[in-house]
Amino acid sequence: MGVLTVRNIDEDLKRRLRVAAAERGISMEEHVRRLLAAATDSSAATGEELLRSIRARVKGMGDIRLEVPERTDAVKPADFEA
């Protein structure tokens, strides 16, 4: 296994990593390993793939048509003089 050293980590970031690891019941090193693995996982869905997946799941549920009322009043500009 390789070793990776990261210097000059902000103390607040280190604290957040330590807290997140403790919440999961794992070491901070294990938490960072998992974060790095997830961040570099090429099999993670892209936004487009995610959209296709959602569309496939809801297909056949029927279309939802919302009635959009016609605008009757023009938008009044903000009064910055008040």
Look at residue 48 in the predicted model and tell me its pLDDT: 85
pTM of the model: 0.53
| Cα 21-43-4 angle, rounded to 5 deg | 45
42: pLDDT strictly greater than 80 = no
Instruction: Output the average pLDDT for the chain.
Output: 88
Look at residue 24 in the predicted model and tell me its pLDDT: 96
Q: What is the mean pLDDT of residues 25-34?
A: 96
CA distances from 59 to 51, 62, 67 (A): 12, 7, 21
70: pLDDT strictly greater than 80 = yes
